[in-house]
Amino acid sequence: MKIFSFFILLLVSSSIFSQNDSIMIRTIYNEALSKGHAYEDLRSLCKDIGARITGSAEAEMAIHWGELKMKEYEFDKVYLQEIEVPHWERGTKEAGWYKGSDGHLHKVHLLALGGSIGTNGTLEGKLIQFNSLDELKATDPILVKDKVVFINQKMDEQQIQTFKAYGGCYPIRGNGAVEASKLGAKAVIIRSLGLPLDHNPHTGSMHYIDSIERIPAAAISTQDAEDLAKFLSNGSASFVMEMDCRHYPNMTSYNVIGELTGSDKSDEIITFGGHLDSWDTGEGAHDDGAGIVHCLEAMRILKTLNYQPQHTLRLVLFMNEENGNMGGKSYAKIVKEKGEKQIAALESDRGGFAPRGFSCDGSDEYITLLESFESKFSSYDLHIFEKGYGGVDISPLKSEYPEIPLFGFVPDSQRYFDFHHAPSDVFENVNKRELELGAAAISSFLYLLDKSL
Amino acid sequence: MKIFSFFILLLVSSSIFSQNDSIMIRTIYNEALSKGHAYEDLRSLCKDIGARITGSAEAEMAIHWGELKMKEYEFDKVYLQEIEVPHWERGTKEAGWYKGSDGHLHKVHLLALGGSIGTNGTLEGKLIQFNSLDELKATDPILVKDKVVFINQKMDEQQIQTFKAYGGCYPIRGNGAVEASKLGAKAVIIRSLGLPLDHNPHTGSMHYIDSIERIPAAAISTQDAEDLAKFLSNGSASFVMEMDCRHYPNMTSYNVIGELTGSDKSDEIITFGGHLDSWDTGEGAHDDGAGIVHCLEAMRILKTLNYQPQHTLRLVLFMNEENGNMGGKSYAKIVKEKGEKQIAALESDRGGFAPRGFSCDGSDEYITLLESFESKFSSYDLHIFEKGYGGVDISPLKSEYPEIPLFGFVPDSQRYFDFHHAPSDVFENVNKRELELGAAAISSFLYLLDKSL
């Protein structure tokens, strides 16, 4: 393989582009599929560390893990970038029940939403149900006052693009507490943002605003939401809950950075990565362990094949995407302040499923470039090469460098919302081959991008 | 929905094709995703019946199940087609060990290959390993005589199309026993035809020929194959096995058939389906429970939407695909003898994964027709519309009707050989949404095909 890699390199440097591209991409895929590290790296991140919410010991260990991996893989530079992050903890108490007028209790599978306050002991209130945030907002406060608001909005299963279904429900999680509190509610519970009907509650970020009183917010499983809605259609009920979530002062954390230094254009940087933090349930396997190992593996493969990039390829394992995005925001600010020349960015944060393609948030010229890559991937079952979102971590770069393209890796999305932010987001639910194909696609894409810019 | 369906029907009959197609396809997908029966039908087939090898009580119950489902769904005609099938049973004893020169035993996960004879008590022989069938065939018989041949050929993980990797290994399973016996071996064990390294053995069909002595044949798990190869690299070993498989006389069984009668071209038949039998391990969930419920659901949806086909749509749940294909062969012979006008056929037998498209085994004119369907599915993430295989059940139709096109449903293939013919092919390994999207794609395809022919 070494001799073969050298041969590839010769071919590449001789600029007979098209044929060499196909040989290089085939070589990248072979490495990922036959000698890949992605799956064992993910096992290690999920099992040796586990869930790694910002501010936790696990997040700290994940930083250590990422730095060590990059050194093992002999990237040209490896360093930590200091950032300030929020610190929220779920605490140990977390339970919820609905209680019929006969006093019988029905326990639900509940997870506090990330950023919620606790209940300060047991909280109880009469339930009032809404099917959307708009329905809640249009309601007379007198009906809501001192109640527990239950928002039972279902993700639209008819959306083929599951992220669109997620986007349609996101406001109930992000803004439910504020809107319910405006009307005098004492707490809010939402139907989990998950597609299957099951018992896994899905957490995720929510926010408060200063002028509105903070009330506790939690998600219950989709099956519990169905059962509760049915129960409420037959009579009234109250909700009993306890959560001891807490906010702590901001603390120091790190983005983990590794680079392959560019040859003739080393000052021009292609940033790519995923987020190292996860929610504090499951193992953050798809979200975003998969993105982390995709990108680690993509760069390991290029290094192993002795590929010498023109531009500097910079892998960033961003901290704190889930509850603040301080990794992404700080990174964009720091590199701008340093006067760095960022030329493109790529993110993987949609899970470790079979690759479908790449999207681009950028000008027409970059969409055209992206479309020109499609034929290179025709033997690899990739078919989405179109305008679309980049990713949360890299999005702040757009404010600092409005002209650069942000690319998003697009795997198949059908199973993502089975696991997203739920206890089921564990290593066992990631398929080895699908994960490896993602790493190979990203590595090939970085190679093409580096050559084209 | 009823009024809406009626509206669709009006539009369809008014021949404003293109726009109506997109409305019809959207309506089909909505039905599959919001009111679908595919997943619960698969649960029932897997859990109420389970593995259903030809000749078993389960296969008989599956016939009953299929007929009942079709009647419940009020297809225009529902009937059984009598066929003659082989009858092979694994028996109850099945075990294998490799034994080092020190006498220590190492138990392996073993499954007799379908069609194998038993060992008639305990069989023991010195092991000789080959990495391919060609390597075995080129060996001096003196080295093989009275030994147990171990063929350790790995599926090529670098093949992006996993069915090609499967095809490359198929000869060791199909012909391993014949080739080993020609050289005087007393039994053959093969590395399972599965992609992951795990403990699941994968069974599947093998054959004997009359002039060559029959010897027992079994598969061991990929992990056992790796371990055994390593063991053999350090010294010799023998293999000990017992299997009490038996062949019984041929018996009567049935294809299960349901029809929606065509309007103006009722004598022109579009045959479609999957196979009702499965191997006798796992639950035949992907292979081919998924294909069965895909096709049942595809026709249920067309019926529910009051779609009136031009041609007769005939759903066939074929018996005995796995070990003889007598369902497919008999069907083709019977319909030809009856003088039926078959105009096209479609099969789903590649698992219940996210749809990628359709392939066509047919003349250029049909490939062009298939390609013209691609744009109809652009919002549904389908992108493969190309020349390719139809399916095993429908392939005998080609001999009787050489001019007709055979279409194959093409789902993503990356996870298929994790489960194929293995104990892990169970309901829990099928994703609801992926299954439903397959049913919707097939239903939409049948609609387009009916309108285009």
> B157 — contact with chain A (CB < 8 Å)?
yes
Pick from B298, B411, B40, B26: which is nearest to A197 by CA?
B40
| Per-residue model confidence (pLDDT) at position A12 | 46
In chain B, which residues have their Cβ closer than 8 Å to the Cβ of A380? 160
**pLDDT band, very low/low/confident/very high, at A19 (cuts 50, 70, 90):** confident
pLDDT tens, residue by residue, B53-108: 999 999 999 999 999 999 999 999 999 999 999 999 999 889 999 999 999 999 99
Q: Averaged over B3-25, what is the pLDDT?
A: 63
| Per-residue model confidence (pLDDT) at position A14 | 44
Say yes or no for a CB contact (<8 Å) between A157 and B195.
Answer: no
> Is the CB of residue B348 less than 8 Å from the CB of residue B438?
yes
Give the closest-approach CA distance of B438 to chain A in angstroms.
12
Give the closest-approach CA distance of B437 to chain A in angstroms.
9
Say yes or no for a CB contact (<8 Å) between A354 and B412.
Answer: yes
> Is the CB of residue A210 less than 8 Å from the CB of residue A174?
no
Q: Averaged over A217-232, what is the pLDDT?
A: 98
**What is the percent of chain A with per-residue pLDDT over 90, rounded to a whole number?**
95
Nearest to B431 among A381, A415, A437 (CB): A415
In this structure, the number of other CB atoms found within 10 A of the CB of residue B230 comes to 9
Query: Is residue B439 predicted with pLDDT exceeding 60?
Result: yes
Residue B325 token pair: 């294909």
Q: Averaged over A68-87, what is the pLDDT?
A: 98
Query: Is residue A160 predicted with pLDDT exceeding 70?
Result: yes
| Per-residue model confidence (pLDDT) at position B14 | 44
pLDDT tens, residue by residue, B372-405: 999 999 999 999 999 999 999 999 999 999 999 9
What backbone torsions phi and psi does residue A134 show, to the nearest 5 degrees? -65, -40
Say yes or no for a CB contact (<8 Å) between B415 and A431.
Answer: yes
What DSSP string runs through A383-441?
Answer: -EEEE----TTTHHHHHH-TTS-EEEEEE--TTHHHHTTSTT-SGGGS-HHHHHHHHHH
Q: pTM for the complete prediction?
A: 0.95
pLDDT tens, residue by residue, B156-202: 999 999 999 999 999 999 999 999 999 999 999 999 999 999 999 99
In chain A, which residues have their Cβ closer than 8 Å to the Cβ of B155? none
Pick from A415, A418, A195, A197: which is nearest to B353 by CA?
A415
Q: Averaged over A273-296, what is the pLDDT?
A: 98
Measured CA to CA, the distance from residue A392 to residue A274 in angstroms comes to 9
Say yes or no for a CB contact (<8 Å) between A195 and B33.
Answer: no
| Per-residue model confidence (pLDDT) at position B378 | 92
Structural domains present in chain B: 2-88+249-452 (3.40.630.10), 91-244 (3.50.30.30)
Mean pLDDT across chain A, nearest whole number? 96
Mean pLDDT across chain B, nearest whole number? 96
- In chain A, DSSP finds a helix count (H) and a strand count (E) of 14, 16
Query: Is residue B264 predicted with pLDDT exceeding 70?
Result: yes
Nearest to B431 among A29, A380, A414 (CB): A414
Give the closest-approach CA distance of A33 to chain B in angstroms.
6
Which helix (H) or strand (E) segment holds residue A218: the answer is strand A217-220
- Please report the sign of the dihedral spanned by the C-alpha atoms of residue A419, residue A420, residue A423, residue A427: positive
In chain B, which residues have their Cβ closer than 8 Å to the Cβ of A33? 157-158
Q: Tell how strand A246-260 and strand A311-318 pair up.
A: antiparallel
Query: Is residue A15 predicted with pLDDT exceeding 80?
Result: no
End-to-end CA distance of chain A: 28
